[in-house]
Amino acid sequence: MAKTYEEINEKIRSKKAVVCTAEEVVDLVRKKGVEKAAEEVDVVTTGTFGAMCSSGAFLNFGHSTPPIRMTNILLNGVQAYGGLAAVDTYIGATQMTEDSEKGYGGAHVIEDLIAGKDIHLRATGPGTDCYVRKEIDTYVSLDDLNEAYLYNPRNSYQNYGVATNTSDKALYTYMGKLLPKMKNASYSSAGQLSPLLNDPHCDVIGIGTRIFLGGGEGYVSWQGTQFKTDVEEVGGVPVAGARTLAVIGDMKQMDPYYVRGLDIHGYGISLALGIGVPLPILDEGVMARAAVSDEDLFAEMLDYSLPSGRVPMARYSYAQLRSGKIEYQGKTIRTSSMSSYAGAKKVAQELKDRIERGEFLLNAPSLMLPKAGSVKPLKVREARRCAER
């Protein structure tokens, strides 16, 4: 029995929609079967809450009197992009502060803005006939800005490798501290709750899908960077990093609980972000894919002591990874996560609550994401001469 977006939205509006989190449907489908579950359930909510480095925000400050064309912009000492129109900027999450206050960066500016704090804005410009001011030093908060929206080129990775370290010294990586001699391993995906693991070929997630982004409403705006589909699958789900999402959302709706600046020791700054995607249960296929559990989802372990060319060492299910220990060649390795499963659960639950209350309607994609994609490496090479082009 197929459903349409309009039928589901009508149920949401009349507060009659049946909504389950991607965790809850695992048991439901085991008990009742896919067919029955697809009939009963209208929406499955997913969630993830992890470090998403490829994130940032577009901001518009408004014009001062006299006006300035800002070309060199600092927000709490963090460089923001000065190559847009006069008072537009983009602040990247991983940009680090230039002054002595370490452990602070673009992600923290974004968190502080969302928390309603004052941000120290310092900017200089060339001074032109139309923008005579050459410098400005003031404070702005989120309310003062005309527009402030996250635009994140790559979020919500579909699966991710498990990091370990075979070397003799500890490594400080974006996957956390990796103890020497494989004493621990760090994984990152929310597994059975992760948006793109519950819709592995993006049959329902597409451009225009309305999502939970950092506590507010956002949208899938494009395929994420490094979007790839040519990845080995088990049970129809990639076992390594594959698809990604570019997302957009109004910061004025967001909650600092779900948007946090991270200072990852030895690596740098990143942004922890909560993202939830509602999956419309249009048919049994969508239901079956959304019912995937941690036992059925796998990730590959990689040796982060190798600078490149990391060959998968072993494959583990998320159920094994979440048990706290895995075995490798007779050795026990302790495991923990770099993303918050507690946070992912909160995101999926909060999205479920909003849909049940009739506050969050589904938006059908206006365009589907690419069905194929691969990632090219960067070659270090000489410039080609014109004739060879």
Which positions are catalytic? Answer: 130
Q: Which is nearer to another protein, 246 or 302 (CB)?
A: 302
* Cβ at position 95, least distance to another protein in Å: 16
Q: Which residue has the tokens 């969050």?
A: 360
297-327 as b/e: b if 16+ CB within 10 A: bbbbbbbbbeeeeeeebbebbbebbbeeebe
Half-sphere exposure of 204 (CA within 13 A, CB side): 30
Q: Which is nearer to another protein, 26 or 264 (CB)?
A: 264
Q: Which is nearer to another protein, 8 or 107 (CB)?
A: 107
- Mask 255-294, x = binds another protein (CB under 8 A)? -----xxxxxx----x-x----------------------
Considering only residues 67, 103, 312, 373, which one is a binding residue for another protein as defined by CB under 8 A? 103
Q: Is 186 in the site for another protein (CB under 8 A)?
A: yes
* Cβ at position 63, least distance to another protein in Å: 36
Report d(CA 61, CA 142) in Å as an integer. Answer: 10
* Cβ at position 344, least distance to another protein in Å: 8
CA 45 to chain centre: 16
CB atoms within 10 A of CB 289: 21
Residue 373 phi, psi (nearest 5): -170, 145
* Cβ at position 106, least distance to another protein in Å: 15
From 280-288, 334-342, 362-370, 372-380, give the range in contact with another protein by CB under 8 A.
334-342
Q: Is 179 in the site for another protein (CB under 8 A)?
A: yes
34-50 as b/e: b if 16+ CB within 10 A: beebbeebbbbbbbbbb
Site for another protein in 34-93 (CB under 8 A): 49-51
Sequence-distant contacts of 127-135: CB under 8 A, at least 24 apart: 128/69, 130/67, 130/69, 131/66, 131/67, 131/68, 131/69, 131/86, 132/66, 132/67, 133/64, 133/66, 133/67, 133/68, 134/68, 135/68
Considering only residues 345, 358, 361, 365, which one is a binding residue for another protein as defined by CB under 8 A? 345
Q: Is 301 in the site for another protein (CB under 8 A)?
A: no
Report d(CA 387, CA 80) in Å as an integer. Answer: 39
Considering only residues 194, 227, 343, 348, which one is a binding residue for another protein as defined by CB under 8 A? 343
CA 151 to chain centre: 11
Report d(CA 75, CA 58) in Å as an integer. Answer: 13
Asked whether 66 and 133 are in contact (CB, 8 A), the reply is yes
Q: Is 181 in the site for another protein (CB under 8 A)?
A: no
Q: Which is nearer to another protein, 49 or 61 (CB)?
A: 49
Q: Which is nearer to another protein, 95 or 186 (CB)?
A: 186
Considering only residues 311, 342, 378, 387, which one is a binding residue for another protein as defined by CB under 8 A? 342
Q: Is 172 in the site for another protein (CB under 8 A)?
A: yes
Report d(CA 42, CA 18) in Å as an integer. Answer: 5
Report d(CA 30, CA 19) in Å as an integer. Answer: 17
Considering only residues 46, 337, 351, 360, which one is a binding residue for another protein as defined by CB under 8 A? 337
Q: Is 185 in the site for another protein (CB under 8 A)?
A: yes
Q: Is 339 in the site for another protein (CB under 8 A)?
A: yes
Asked whether 25 and 37 are in contact (CB, 8 A), the reply is yes
- Mask 192-231, x = binds another protein (CB under 8 A)? ----------------------------------------
Q: Which residues bind another protein (CB under 8 A)?
A: 49-51, 103, 172, 176-177, 179, 184-186, 260-265, 270, 272, 322, 324, 334-343, 345
